Amino acid sequence: MKILVPVKRVLDYNVKPRVKADGTGVDLANVKMSMNPFDEIAVEEAIRLKEKGVATEVIVVSIGEPKSQDTLRTALAMGADRAILITAEGEVEPLGVAKLLKAVADEEQPGLVILGKQAIDDDSNQTGQMLAALTGWGQGTFASKVEVAGDTVIVTREVDGGSETVSLKAPAIVTTDLRLNEPRYASLPNIMKAKSKPLANKTPADYGVDVAKRLTTLKVSEPPVRSAGIKVADVDELVAKLKALGVAA
């Protein structure tokens, strides 16, 4: 089966985001951008399924500014076969992304779509579920284990209080949780090789999808700052503080 893996270019997870002084958003000028960490896990899982002989081809797709091409090249260097870049101006909301991915899925007919469970910029955690609704496929969200047997996909999911296992009929949607796997690093030869792998350039108009925003961001502000704390010298002083808080008798 073909596997489709959507990836997103986001502010690197090690960078502390800075809110713009005018409150219009987070400053993304001249900061390091990387592939969303959950998407790296999705790419890794797809490649592992290909190495096991389950998948025949891994297609990566990204939606956003032209620089998202770098993110796709990273995925190609990890082992994906080809890439699709859908260039769109400004931020595309999860619903718009899901509609574009539905159009790509209609065209490519994958047996499995693996997405990250959430992007670490908007923290929405929506796209995979929305794509599942639009395609009418089953969804295995927050996956910590994925097994494909014929046209059945068995997904172990991380849920509040533990884990649960669901069985889905392929084609299906899977979203990755952190413990699904440890993504590989792309080696230098593979990075060089990735440069010659196919990358198709598209626009939302090519798919006839309207990606108009439904939500308007009125303001982005800093979270409330915690007032500076104190340091205590020893355990006795800490015990006294705990007693003052009323948590210890």
Residues 189-228 that bind another protein (CB under 8 A): 214-223, 226
In angstroms, the CA 85 to CA 72 distance is 8
What residues are paired with 153 via a beta bridge?
148, 168
Figure out which of the listed residues 34, 36, 74, 141 binds another protein, where binding follows CB under 8 A: 141
**Shortest distance, position 3 Cβ to another protein, whole Å:** 18
Number of C-beta neighbours around residue 185 at 10 A: 10
In the bound state with another protein, the residue whose beta carbon lies nearer, of 188 and 236, is: 236
In angstroms, the CA 170 to CA 151 distance is 5
DSSP-derived 3-state class of residue 28: coil
In angstroms, the CA 126 to CA 138 distance is 15
The answer to whether residue 29 forms part of the interface with another protein (CB under 8 A) is no
Figure out which of the listed residues 69, 87, 129, 190 binds another protein, where binding follows CB under 8 A: 129
In the bound state with another protein, the residue whose beta carbon lies nearer, of 188 and 233, is: 233
**Shortest distance, position 39 Cβ to another protein, whole Å:** 14
Token representation of residue 106: 């209609």
The answer to whether residue 105 forms part of the interface with another protein (CB under 8 A) is no
The answer to whether residue 39 forms part of the interface with another protein (CB under 8 A) is no
Figure out which of the listed residues 6, 127, 146, 204 binds another protein, where binding follows CB under 8 A: 127
Q: Where are the beta strands (DSSP E) in 51-149?
A: 57-64, 82-87, 112-116, 138-149
What binding mask, one character per residue, do residues 68-97 give for another protein by CB under 8 A, x or -?
-------------------------xxx--
Number of C-beta neighbours around residue 123 at 10 A: 8
